[in-house]
Amino acid sequence: MNGPTVLIVDDERTLAKAMRAFLSEQGYEAEVAEDAEKALGLLGRLHPDVVFTDVRLPGIGGLELLKRIREFDSAISVVVMTAFGSIEGAVEAVKLGAFDYVKKPLDLEEIKLLADRARETSLLKQELSYYRERAAKDAPFEGMLGRSAPMLALQERMRQIAALDETPPVLITGETGTGKGLVARTIHSSGARRAKPFIEVNCNALPAALMEAELFGHERGAFTDAKESKVGLFEAAEGGFIFLDEVGDIELALQGKLLRAIEDRVVRRVGGVRDRKINVCILAATNRELLREVQREGFRKDLYFRLAVILLRLPPLRERGEDVVLLAEYYLQRFNAKYGREVRTIGPRARQLMLAYPWPGNVRELSHVIERAVIWSQGDTLDSDHLSLLGSGEVPHSDQHGLPEDGIVSGADANQSPLAPKMPEPGLDLTLWEKSIIERALREADGNQTKAAQRLGLSRDTLRYRLKKFGIQG
């Protein structure tokens, strides 16, 4: 059949034939079934766009037929026909998902309008279903933008993880700002447990004693302030995922208990004597070299290998080539919508600068740079002098030292500023390069961490973490 198809289900043969003749004149391919059994037998061959069915049929009734059609394909629009006095059945049909209902005796022009509208709705549902399937199968996971080889490989591995009936422990590694949390949330939202809890834990937020109670819960009276029993985060994540962010920061004293929870799938609350079974998938993330920590005996070897059943490495932005521009365009549209701006394109000089810059803060830094650029740009093109690299977020203007007051380095001033994002010398370790920038910022701020953080466009907590990471005395 070439045209749109309609299936008419009614035991009144004269009426059904009249409808078929009329709709055929209107360009529809119409078929008639006298009862629900015959209609169900025709569904697979016809795959109709629209079904007209009487609410009262011999054998299987119209409402039951509606349910079975929706089970077969919810995109098929069903219009229920009802005689005067049985309107309740038609209303019930609409509640069950019917497109509409029409009362007998029928007005054929009304039937034509209903058929047209119902077919449009059916086509829209089919299109939506198609694009959803294509997005799930072919497109990158939501937010996981990238066409570079490392990102395509990462996306493929994540698809394989999503297809598993049960998710084994996954360890996500990568520098700060590469999107480890996004990967964890995507694994949860694309897998079989998407409807279950996803609980994120920042493992460097609390000392070991408090972290144990947070993860495993505590009984009443377990410590001074424990006036009530409390469920731990492992128990709260029952059936879903727990995401241990910065897992490398968990103190050794707690690592053994974490290993037991993962291996034996049980937890024991602080102050408790009873083991409680858990059914939780484990995701963990770190920006540390955990194998190096294992060698230094700062992280348990057995815990590392238990967490790294699947190991996902997120590439830094400097290894992703043209993905930088792709992500910048994504953030450009996002912040245009947020702030009501109309910056439509990224100029060639801005593209060159973004591709040359090493992005020590990775995707997070890029997001902040584009957000500032959208806020301060005046025209419809984002150019290099709108880019505030390693900045704090204010409009650039020079102070007595030749630096912007707040440490912003725009593309136009990049060569004049002591904090300018100059490319490192060939062969230079990028970690050492990042360390040198932080040390320079501290010197310029006379050792004031707050001012140094502002110059670098970082929060104080992030700067403190980097000082500890690089062993810098601040």
Tally the domains of the chain. 4
Tens digit of each residue's pLDDT (9 = 90 or more) over 313-350: 999 999 999 899 889 998 998 999 999 988 888 888 88
Domain assignment present for residue 465? The answer is: yes
Spatial separation of the C-alpha atoms in residues 35 and 10, rounded to whole Å: 6
Torsion, CA 49, CA 52, CA 56, CA 59, rounded to 10: -40
What is the residue-averaged pLDDT of the chain?
83
The model's confidence at residue 24, banded by pLDDT at 50, 70 and 90, is very high
Q: What is the pLDDT of residue 459?
A: 66
Domain assignment present for residue 234? The answer is: yes
Spatial separation of the C-alpha atoms in residues 287 and 305, rounded to whole Å: 17
> At residue 275, what are phi and psi to the nearest 5 degrees?
-80, 140
Domain assignment present for residue 142? The answer is: no
For 131, residues 6+ apart whose C-beta sits below 8 A from its C-beta are none
Instruction: Single out the residue of 104, 115, 106, 112 nearest to residue 79, CA to CA.
Output: 115
Domain assignment present for residue 401? The answer is: yes
* pTM greater than the 0.85 cutoff: no
Do residues 293 and 158 share a domain?
Answer: yes
Q: What is the CATH number of the domain that holds 438?
A: 1.10.10.60
Please identify, among 135, 158, 183, the residue that sits at the C-terminal boundary of a domain. 135
Do residues 299 and 183 share a domain?
Answer: yes
Most trustworthy range by pLDDT among 170-179, 325-334, 347-356 = 170-179
Domain assignment present for residue 141? The answer is: no
Do residues 35 and 52 share a domain?
Answer: yes
Judging by DSSP bridges, how do beta strands 388-389 and 409-410 pair with one another? antiparallel
The length of the chain, given as a count of residues: 474
Do residues 173 and 260 share a domain?
Answer: yes
> At residue 25, what are phi and psi to the nearest 5 degrees?
-65, -25
Spatial separation of the C-alpha atoms in residues 287 and 298, rounded to whole Å: 15
Quick one: average pLDDT of 278-283? 96
Q: What is the pLDDT of residue 413?
A: 38
Do residues 404 and 432 share a domain?
Answer: no
* Cα angle: 215, vertex 313, 316; to 5 degrees: 110
From 208-222, 229-243, 249-263, the region with the lowest mean pLDDT: 208-222
Domain assignment present for residue 140? The answer is: no
Q: SS3 for 169?
A: coil
Do residues 300 and 175 share a domain?
Answer: yes
Strand partners, 5: 29
Residues of the chain above pLDDT 90, percent: 47
**Before 105, cis peptide (omega within 30)?**
yes
Do residues 51 and 186 share a domain?
Answer: no
**DSSP string of 209-277?**
HHHHHHHHEE-TTSSTT--S-EE-HHHHTTTSEEEEETGGGS-HHHHHHHHHHHHH-EEE-BT---EEE
Res. 137: pLDDT tops 90: no
Spatial separation of the C-alpha atoms in residues 296 and 276, rounded to whole Å: 33
| Domain ranges, residue 463 | 424-474
Q: What is the CATH number of the domain that holds 296?
A: 3.40.50.300
The type of residue at 441 is: A
Instruction: Single out the residue of 91, 110, 112 nearest to residue 101, CA to CA.
Output: 91
Percent helix, strand, coil in the chain (nearest 5)?
A: 45, 15, 40
Res. 118: pLDDT tops 90: no
CB contact at 8 A, 240 and 187: no
Most trustworthy range by pLDDT among 133-137, 219-223, 412-416 = 219-223
- 240 compared with 442, residue with greater pLDDT: 240
Q: What is the pLDDT of residue 150?
A: 93
Judging by DSSP bridges, how do beta strands 217-218 and 266-268 pair with one another? unpaired
Please identify, among 100, 135, 170, the residue that sits at the C-terminal boundary of a domain. 135
Residue for token digits 């698809």?
159
Please identify, among 396, 416, 436, the residue that sits at the C-terminal boundary of a domain. 416
Q: SS3 for 27?
A: coil
Q: What are the angstrom distances between the C-alpha of 295 and each of 172, 301, 453?
A: 19, 8, 32
Kindly provide the residue ranges of all beta strands, DSSP E only, lying in 14-103, ordered along the sequence. Answer: 29-33, 50-54, 77-82, 100-103
Domain assignment present for residue 144? The answer is: no
Q: SS3 for 80?
A: strand
Do residues 104 and 162 share a domain?
Answer: no
Do residues 308 and 328 share a domain?
Answer: no
Domain assignment present for residue 143? The answer is: no
Which stretches of 321-427 are DSSP H helices? Answer: 323-339, 348-356, 362-376
The model's confidence at residue 406, banded by pLDDT at 50, 70 and 90, is very low
The helix (run of H) or strand (run of E) holding residue 319 is: none
